[in-house]
Amino acid sequence: MYQKDYILRMIEMLGEILRAIFGMIRKGSFEEAQHSISEAYITMLRKDSAFFHQIAPEKLTSTLIEEHNYTNEHLEILAELLFAEAELLNVKGNMLESLLFYRKSLILFEFVDKAYRTYSEERLSKIDAIQKRISSENKTS
């Protein structure tokens, strides 16, 4: 019971953090948004963002699950943070780097979607949005 309560509190906290980050991005406070994203990695996942950046997309889930005992909840949190980072990079005009973050986020969201086996309209719409973003960026590249 305590584990479930803790996870629910973490998810609520993540939602608040992400709303603040996207607000900063909309206002053009890119430095502040990046700082908040970096803090969120450490607060939520106990690792620096560089740790996740260095893992190749094709090894992301296996590395985190097998070597670091990450749960589906951890992976979903990471997917959200990678998505936020991709959005920030995209707005700043760094399309190529943002694509890598979108791809990693998509991999994690799709993995979590299959693992949970529960319907989540929010997750599915995020998967769809990321797929469209990647597709449109690949057409312009």
Binned at pLDDT 50, 70 and 90, residue 2 comes out as low
* Span 35-52, pLDDT tens digits: 999 999 999 999 999 999
pLDDT of residue 117: 75
Query: Does pLDDT of 3 surpass 80?
Result: no
Residue 136: per-residue pLDDT: 82
pLDDT at 98: 95
pTM above 0.95, yes or no: no
Q: What's the pLDDT tens digit per position in 7-17?
A: 778 888 999 99
pLDDT (average), residues 65-69:
93
pLDDT of residue 141: 57
* Amino acid at site 61: T
